[in-house]
Structure formats: structure tokens, C-alpha cells
Chains A and B, each alone.
Chain A
């Protein structure tokens, strides 16, 4: 179980980092979202992975650390708000700057290539 879990977190992080390094705001936003999923899973596992145990003290005495779950909840709420904000900001950037490049302008080489392929900017 641990290996699969770790692999998933690693894969999400790798995809997130790859996408945040892209030049268009859309992929950056998706990358940040993937990174925040990865970090939520990672935080959850910091209390160790346990099966069939409640997050509160119960009669059977089998329980898991409740704190990481509280932390993940906080992180999800904050992450949600931040993602909403960055989506709006990216749309505002598209409107204000006329393109969706993270630097606000398309580099000369890329825009020449787009013209060649027949894209309209």
C-alpha cells in the first residue's frame, strides 16, 4: 500500500512541476492544482497509513492520528480559495494583456512559428 501511495504522490508532484514550468497560464494553473493534490495526499500520510481505524478515540482502541486530517482539511480549503483566485487572475491577464503567456507577451520566435502554422493570435 505504501509503495502505491508513494508512487501516486510522486507522479502527481512530477506532473505538477512539469505543468507549472510551461509558458501558458492554463497549464500553470492545472500544474498548481495537481501540486496541491499531491501535497494534500502527502500531508495525509504524515500521520502514517493505517487501515480500519477511526480518527477519534473509540472503544476498540484502534485509532489513527487525527491531526493530519485536520491539516489536510485546512490545506484543501486554502488551496481551493487560492486556485479560484489564480483562475480569475489568469482570465484577467488574458483580457488585459491580450494573450495567455505567463510573461504577458509571446516571445518573437514562438509567435513567428504560430503564424507559420496559421494560428491567429
Chain B
């Protein structure tokens, strides 16, 4: 059983999705909820086990059907992948708990789609094969199309049309890139490709470079990198809250793929093709932060504000990726865990505020007093502190790690002011949001039910990550440093995944 651990994060959601479609569970929403929550809890447990195992026994390579790499399909559970799987599982559990309070009633297939989405995300993190990365991208995308228009309505259809069209074109570009890379290197295994790109001749190198850059475009689209980010604010603010919360990890799938492909295949060890993406990634990352910060300052409502803060966090992560040093990568991993959970919590929080303010929704205008301003207000305060990066919460630690990793680099002159100023912009935007949402109010609260306890629990569960990431800061930082070292060390991230005769 324990040797099959790496496939469980992909297999369990698939199984759960299928069972959720079958009669004994499918015909009662209570049964669906219980089953989905239980399975999601099981995935969290599996992710924890996988993380512990990968720390004790090193990278696990799961060879499907016993077809040996580099020819067969493999799953690779190294430190980075298992960390991302655990992050997804925790975020999904919080979002699912929130959805069980009533948001899952908008359509019939919320729970199965949620599980298939989870399968796609986990698969994309675990796969060691670039074509399966494409397949898992498609799995997570088609589930996300369904989840995005869950509940129906004009806004969702319009956002869905843009999102689906863009991603279909993205998938086509992905296949073009795969064709170029396969045509030149003759392999699809990521580790094997990292070996083969160093042996290309002049003409093949040009094609492989084009393929690598096309991949950057595709992953940049998923991650919402600067010229490709226009879909994000509308999509994320149109989706139902738990779906938007789960989508917080989708941009990170893009960042993760850039990190994996452009560090392992086109990283420092790629000979002539080393770091091909970095001259582009670097300015685009900085500009992404700028555009995200401007968007945050201009947002009319809390959902749009959160969506723009997601863009800022993507820019921050891409800077760390563009630096290509183990320290910066470690900072990126820590920051990734922090920002995903907190943005997820903020999307849920925006929904709580929305449902208490009647017609004012989540817009920053004067409205009736909220029914439970204290419980919601404390959550908002914690989330805002964490997002802005004020001590003592995790945003501060993450940004500090990133800034420290750039100290000795000439680029520090660009990184420091931009990251600090984007923090200031977030502070201004969130202070304005908090002031008008909680203090600019009149009259009595609108009559209605108090917030379901489950919803508050889900929000606080996700928010608890921030203080926990600080309290257990030592082990988490050590873990991300070890994961980053593993990713940058070719003997561990490339050669140990291939048979003996591939060793240099």
C-alpha cells in the first residue's frame, strides 16, 4: 500500500468523482456532502503521509504499469510536488467545507466536478512526464469550466466564454510546444528531456528554444502573467466563492510549471539553452506586480480587490522564479503556501460580507450595518495583515525571505522597491476596503439568518495557516530550502529519476 502512495492523490479524487455520480450517493445532497468531505479529508491525510515519506526516503518515482522511464509514464513525488499536493488538499478541504453550507446547491454536479478538478491539479503537480502535464491540465480545465458557470447567470456565462476560449487556445499552443520538443529531443519524460536538450545541434536548438518559449506563454496564461492576465479579475469575481477559493491554487499551477520546466529542463544545466526564459520572465514579473497593484487600488469591490491581489502575488512569485537561485526558490515556496491559503480565505470572506450587506454587495459604498461585524471583522483583519505582509504573520516572513535572497544580486535595486511598494498599495487598498465595509454604515442590520457556523469555521481554518506558518516557521523554511536545493541540484532532480546508464 505504502508503495502506491504517490498515485493516491490522483486516484482518490477520480474514484470519489465517479462514486458521487452513482445512485446511492448521487440522489441525496447530504450523502454527497459527507462523502466528498470524507474523501477530501482522506486526501489531506494521504498528502501529509506523502510529504513525510518524501522527506524520509527521498524522491519517490512511481512507475505506472512498470514501464521503465524514460519510456513509460512516471509520477514523481519530490519535496516540491508533495508540498504543492498538501497545499491543494488543505485549500480544497476549506473550500469544500464552505460549499457544504449551501453554495453547492446551485447545480447538480458541484461535488463530482470539484473532485475531478482536484484530480487534475494533483496530477499536474505529481507528473514527471510533460505530455501528462498537458493531459492533467485539460482535466483540471474542463472541471474548472463546469465549476465556473456553476449556478448560472449572465456574468458567469460571459466570464466563462472568455476563460474557455483563452484556455482552448492555450492548450493548442501547449501541443505545438510539445510537438517541437518531442521532435527535437525525442522524449517526453521531463528528466530525460533535461539530459537531451544539452546534446542538440544548432538547428534543433532553435526549434527547442521556440518550444520552451511557447511553454512559457502557455504557463504564463495559466499563471496570469502580465500581458496574459486580463481574464483573471473577471473570471475570479464571477465564480461562486468556494470555486474562486479553489481557483486560487490554479494560478499557482502555472507558476509551478514554469518553475519545474524552466529550472529542470531549461535551467542552469541546459548548456546553450540555459535560462532562455529569464530575460523575458524578469521584466514581465516586475510589470505584473505593477499592474496588479494598480488594479488593487482601482477595485470597486472586495472580490475584484482579491483577484487583483492574486495577480500581485503571481508577480512576486515569478520574480523569485526568475532569480534562479535556490534561496529565491525556497522563498517562493514559502510565499506560495501562504498566499494561496490567504487568498482562498479572502474570497470566502468576500462572500460572507456580500451576503450580509444586501444590495450593496461587496462594493465599497455606505450600506446597512452587518449582522455579525465582529466575527467577520476579525477574520478580515487577520487576512489583510497577512496579505499586506505585516509582522507577525506569514506574509511578512515570506516577503522577508524573498528580499533577503536578492541582497547580493544586482537586481535588488528593482525588486526591493517594487515589492515594498506593492505591499504599501495593498495596505492602502485593504484599509480603504475595511473602513468602508465595516465602519461606513448606517441603520440596523438587514434581517436574516446569522452566518452558518460551517462557513466561519472554513474561513478561520484557512486563516489559521498564517499564524501556524510563523509558529512552525523553522521547519517550514527548512523544508522549502531542502525542496529548492533538490530542484536545483541536477543529480537529484534529473539523474536520480533515470536508469543507471543515463548517469553523467
Contact = CB atoms under 8 A, between A and B. Distances in A.
Contact of B165 (A32, A36, A46, A81): A32
B135 A97 contact: no
Contacts of A67: 182, 188
Interface in A78-97: 78, 81-82, 85-86, 89-90, 92-93, 96-97
A90 B131 CA distance: 29
Interface string B252-275: 000000000000000000000000
A82 B161 CA distance: 12
Given A25-B161, A89-B160, A78 B138 contact: yes
A89 B157 contact: yes
B495 interface: no
B182 A20 contact: no
Q: Which of B154, B175, B183 has the most chain A CB atoms closer than 10 A to its own CB?
A: B175
Contacts of A71: 131, 178, 182
B135 A74 contact: yes
B164 to A, nearest CB: 6
Given A35-B169, A39-B172, A46 B161 contact: no
B315 to A, nearest CB: 26
A42 B162 CA distance: 26
Contacts of B131: 71, 74
B179 A92 contact: no
Interface size class, chain B = 20 to 34
Interface string A45-89: 111100000000000000000011001001100100110011001
A36 B170 CA distance: 11
A87 B145 CA distance: 13
A43 interface: yes
Interface string B154-188: 10011011101100110110011011101100001
B5 interface: no
Contacts of A102: 161-162, 165
Given A89-B157, A103-B158, A35 B135 contact: no
Interface string A5-43: 000000000001000100001001000100110110011
B165 A92 contact: no
A108 B62 CA distance: 57
B142 interface: yes
Contacts of A93: 157-158, 160-161
A86 B183 CA distance: 30
Contacts of B157: 89, 92-93, 96-97, 104
A103 B161 CA distance: 8
Contact of A75 (B160, B175, B188): B175
A92 B160 CA distance: 10
B138 A39 contact: no
A21 to B, nearest CB: 10
A36 to B, nearest CB: 6
A36 B172 CA distance: 6
B165 A20 contact: yes
A85 B172 CA distance: 16
Nearest to A75: B175
Contacts of A32: 165, 168-169, 172
B154 A96 contact: yes
A85 B168 CA distance: 11
B179 A86 contact: no
A97 to B, nearest CB: 6
B67 to A, nearest CB: 12
B138 A82 contact: yes
B206 to A, nearest CB: 15
Given A89-B164, A104-B158, A43 B169 contact: no
Given A67-B188, A86-B168, 4 more contacts: A39-B172, A42-B179, A78-B171, A82-B142
Please provide the 9 A-B residue pairs with the shortest distance between their CB atoms, ordered closest to farther.
A46-B183, A104-B158, A46-B179, A96-B157, A39-B175, A43-B179, A35-B172, A46-B182, A42-B179
Interface of B: 131, 135, 138, 142, 145, 149, 153-154, 157-158, 160-162, 164-165, 168-169, 171-172, 175-176, 178-180, 182-183, 188
27 contacts: A32-B165, A35-B169, A36-B172, A39-B172, A42-B176, A42-B179, A43-B179, A46-B178, A47-B182, A67-B188, A71-B131, A74-B131, A74-B135, A85-B145, A85-B164, A86-B164, A89-B149, A89-B157, A90-B161, A96-B154, A96-B157, A97-B154, A97-B158, A102-B165, A104-B154, A104-B157, A104-B158
Interface of A: 16, 20, 25, 28, 32, 35-36, 38-39, 42-43, 45-48, 67-68, 71, 74-75, 78, 81-82, 85-86, 89-90, 92-93, 96-97, 102-104
